[in-house]
Amino acid sequence: MNASGGIRRLGLDISFAADGFDQLAANAICSICHDYMEDVVEVDCQARHIFCRPCAQMVYDRGQPCPECRGHMSRIETAHLRIRSPIEQVKWKCTNFQQGCEFSDTKKELEKHLDKECEQEETKCPFRGCGQKGHRAIILQHKAVCPPRPVPCTHCHAAVPFDAMVGHLSRCVKVPIPCPSGCGKNLPRGEIDLHRQTECEEQTVCCEVPGCGQGLKRKDMGTHQNENMQKHMKLLTSRLLALDSTPQSFTVLLPEYEAKAAGVPVYGQLRSAYFSFKGFTFNLGVYPKGMLGSEPGMAVVSLHKLGDFKGELSYSIEAATGNYKKTFAFSLVNIGDGRGKTNFCRAEDLLRAARSRQDRALEIRVTLSAPAKDSEASVIEGYAPSV
């Protein structure tokens, strides 16, 4: 299609007439545009000459006489079927007949042929990032070896450009990789963080007894607890006596946030370093490019429970322009999962907040339990162990 009233011009003239259609083809050429006459109309000059509708309309709008006889014209009408039918039935050679294409048919069928079949028609590779041009026959062969041709990932089944597959496999969340902690398990890349946080026997974890703080491999935690039972009981008793409704505030810093966020895939997350509240371990999850359900351009920040915390938890999260407060029964939250706001703030606002700091860290303020004037802020800097 083009601007000529929706008519597609192919540049047909008598030289393109199929064998036996020379005279009919001559009668099918518009005397104004000298191309095939389509959407045929007749004007009310004395001779009732016929033209393409866009051509006749152009002459009429300019107030000019009939281009054929110079007679007065004041009206344009669709030509009678007896006039249109012979024109529509004229057969034409393919516009690539000089390159060897032997096709011939009506203008309507010729358009279909050029769009889908003609091996001599100039076309371009349909794959994004290629730009290769050539005859359709050549492009058909090219598509089978085109560098950016889409091929399915054998792990996540997503369509990935062939020349980008190596990079994709280095990020694909479904590719099995060995646990970096050395436990011997091979897990999909996207499950490694949760595995290390919740079950890896070789992962170093912190004793959850308040005040203990001993760090050791998860597989040794049972022995540690048995050997330090008396000590732990004293710590727990002391802790219970000290428990009140005073909130605990944390300032969580994610260093070099912009660089880290740039390497996170869509729906991917960054996890902060761990922090302890009332003897239970938590951390924050930041989804720089949103998660399923987020609006475009929005980031997600959530609080994740890493220990078996029971009961309701009041918490507030502040970062950049985002502010979220919630009371939720964290007994219902599985270990490793979290709760947060799907559209916490614009992703760009988090980047701007990180850029404003000299150390380029994203600062997130978290308060757990109930507000209190005498609460003190702790500072947690860094990320959770990553692959």
Give the model confidence (pLDDT) of 255-292 as tens digits: 999 999 999 999 999 999 999 988 889 999 999 999 98
Note the pLDDT of residue 371.
39
Task: Count CB atoms within 10 A of the CB of residue 23.
Answer: 11
Q: What is the mean pLDDT of residues 171-178?
A: 95
Among 182, 186, 212, 218, residue whose Cα is nearest residue 199? 218
The helix/strand/coil state of 70 is coil
The structure tokens listed for 298 are 């929005």
Is 246-381 CATH 3.65.10.10? Answer: no
CATH number of 179-238: 3.30.40
The structure tokens listed for 264 are 């996170």
> CA–CA separation, 86 vs 103, rounded Å?
20
> CA–CA separation, 40 vs 89, rounded Å?
13
Q: Over pLDDT 90: what percentage of the chain?
A: 76
Query: pLDDT per residue over 342-380, tens digit each?
Result: 999 999 999 999 999 999 999 999 999 743 434 445 566
Least confident of 11-15, 148-152, 233-237: 233-237
Q: Do domains 179-238 and 246-381 have the same CATH topology?
A: no
> 240 vs 13, which has greater pLDDT?
13
Side-chain-side CA neighbours of 313 within 13 Å: the count stands at 24
Largest CA distance in the chain: 116
CATH number of 14-116: 3.30.40.10
> CA–CA separation, 249 vs 366, rounded Å?
6
- Does the reported pTM lie above 0.75? no
**In contact, 251 and 368? CB cutoff 8 Å:** no
The residue extents of the domains of the chain are 14-116, 179-238, 246-381
The position carrying tokens 């944390």 is 250
Least confident of 62-71, 322-331, 373-382: 373-382
Residues 6 or more apart whose CB falls under 8 angstroms from that of 24 comprise 17, 86, 87, 89, 90
> CA–CA separation, 239 vs 66, rounded Å?
102
Query: pLDDT per residue over 74-125, tens digit each?
Result: 999 999 999 999 999 999 999 999 989 999 999 999 999 998 889 888 899 9
**In contact, 353 and 319? CB cutoff 8 Å:** yes
> CA–CA separation, 381 vs 379, rounded Å?
6
pLDDT band at 211 (very low <50, low <70, confident <90, very high): confident
